[in-house]
Amino acid sequence: MFFESTFMTHVMNTYKRLPVAFERGEGCWVWDKQGKRYLDALAGIAVCGLGHSHPSLVRAISSQAAKLIHTSNLYEIPLQEALADRLAAISGMDEVFFCNSGCEANEAAIKIARLHGHGKGIETPAIIVMEKAFHGRTIATLSATGSRKVQAGFEPLVPGFVRVPFDDLTAVRKVAENNRSVVAVLVELIQGEGGINICHADYLHGLREICDANGWLLMLDEVQSGTGRTGRWFAFEHSGVRPDVMTLAKGLASGVPIGACLAAGAAAGVFKPGNHGSTFGGNPLACAAALATLDIIETEKLMANASAMGEFIRAELRAALDGVAGVREIRGMGLMVGIELDTACGDIVQSALDAGLLVNVTDDNVVRLLPPLTVARSEAAQIVAMLVPLMTDFLARSRTAPPAVQTA
């Protein structure tokens, strides 16, 4: 009786869930169990790039599920080979390992770097990672992540990571001068969980030069920024610098679990049979969903839409919030948008939910928007129209709130 009255669910308590359950979705909208409609400006945290229930995606998933969902990587999987060919063609990379999530893709990247290092005779290979980075919650990717908040309590962390400030080439060069065990750099070009932090235009060029000069692998985590979200297939395309390793997940199959680790140059061919594997990785259903996703993004010109709608949202936000005390910066690329405030603003998430808008807050004080790539101009305008008064009201209240009472 105690168990029944104390616990509402048998789901392990790892998420601080909002008090809503969604029942169905269409395009940029979702409906809860009571029939209330919400404008989705989060897309499952950059997962539902095609919006919800896209007819072509639904047909592709249904058709494949009726034929074959899973076999095993012990056998040839033609859809997996077709997806690898497609990703190689649009990225310029050479080969792909498929898994089920972003952290798994980053685990594969870490293993490639270490195996590459051992092949060069380096006994304890190290990887340069960034402050405020997020690469996952497995024990290795957690160790690579630049947030003590998510690492706390899980020590001892995995060794072999050297942390430097993000977007700081001088710091990377200093490590190169003093640490001969480094074999790779792992970086997000846009830090999603870190607050929509975007590196300078010359940063990737500088990293490429440093990596080439030292024989390191340049590894890009494009789990959140990839698959069209920034207005190009991949964020690295904005600079024209190809990485040696790139990781993808989130929007790659529009909600069907998939991850991918792509390799090129010195990183290609590092994995041999037995070095790595995945039971579910690259199964026919996930690959069919990913191939359909890539087709839809291309045929419906959703990368151009992501670029245009992202610019529109940022311009509208800047105009509406110009001069508002507490707004530090509005930044982003494509449909990755961050509004940085000068105070922690997690309460905005619940206020937005109450108003029928889905957003979230990252790095404590950055409101993050990740709408579907299909978002229409009218919906983009509605996101701004709904969000701006919530933010101005929050900021006004935060400045008039009485100071906390000091106790002895």
Same domain, 112 and 72: yes
CA atoms within 13 A on the CB side of 134: 17
- Reduce the DSSP state of residue 160 to 3 states and report it: coil
Q: 221, 234, 363, 394: which one is catalytic?
A: 221
Do the domain assignments include residue 375? yes
Do the domain assignments include residue 62? yes
Q: 40, 234, 250, 271: which one is catalytic?
A: 250
Residue 8 has what pLDDT?
65
Do the domain assignments include residue 37? yes
Q: 97, 98, 134, 236: which one is catalytic?
A: 134
Residue 318 has what pLDDT?
98
Residue 400 has what pLDDT?
80
Same domain, 137 and 262: yes
Domain extent, residue 111, equals 57-299
Same domain, 122 and 33: no
Residue 5 has what pLDDT?
38
Same domain, 344 and 235: no
The yes-or-no answer on residue 236 being catalytic is: no
Same domain, 225 and 88: yes
Q: How many domains does the chain have?
A: 2
Residue 59 has what pLDDT?
98
Residue 9 has what pLDDT?
82
- Reduce the DSSP state of residue 146 to 3 states and report it: coil
Do the domain assignments include residue 10? no
Do the domain assignments include residue 332? yes
Same domain, 333 and 210: no
Q: Cα-atom radius of gyration of the chain, to the nearest Å?
A: 22
Domain holding 109: CATH number?
3.40.640.10
Same domain, 148 and 239: yes
Boundary of a domain, candidates 284, 299, 314: 299
Same domain, 151 and 273: yes
Same domain, 90 and 34: no
Q: In degrees to the nearest 10, what's the CA dihedral of 250, 254, 258, 260?
A: -60
Residue 402 has what pLDDT?
64
Question: What is 207-271 written as a DSSP string?
Answer: HHHHHHHHT-EEEEE-TTTTTTTTSSSSGGGGTT---SEEEE-GGGGTTS--EEEEE-GGGTT--
Same domain, 355 and 212: no
Residue 269 has what pLDDT?
97
Do the domain assignments include residue 9? no
Boundary of a domain, candidates 299, 325, 357: 299
Residue 263, C-beta contacts closer than 8 angstroms, at least 6 positions apart: 93, 94, 95, 96, 97, 112, 244, 245, 269, 270, 271
Spatial CA neighbour of 226 closest among 195, 199, 190 = 190
Do the domain assignments include residue 407? no
Same domain, 180 and 307: no
Boundary of a domain, candidates 243, 271, 299: 299
**Maximum CA extent, the chain:** 70
Domain holding 331: CATH number?
3.90.1150.10
Residue 401 has what pLDDT?
65
Do the domain assignments include residue 118? yes
Same domain, 196 and 136: yes
Instruction: Please report, in tens digits, the pLDDT of each residue of the chain (408 residues total).
Output: 333 434 468 999 999 999 999 999 999 999 999 999 999 999 999 999 999 999 999 999 999 999 999 999 999 999 999 999 999 999 999 999 999 999 999 999 999 999 999 999 999 999 999 999 999 999 999 999 999 999 999 999 999 999 999 999 999 999 999 999 999 999 999 999 999 999 998 999 999 999 999 999 999 999 999 999 999 999 999 999 999 999 999 999 999 999 999 999 999 999 999 999 999 999 999 999 999 999 999 999 999 999 999 999 999 999 999 999 999 999 999 999 999 999 999 999 999 999 999 999 999 999 999 999 999 999 999 999 999 999 999 999 998 866 555 554
Task: Report how far residue 408's alpha carbon sits from residue 404's, in angstroms, rounded to the nearest whole number.
Answer: 13
Torsion over CA: 133, 139, 140, 141 (sign) = negative
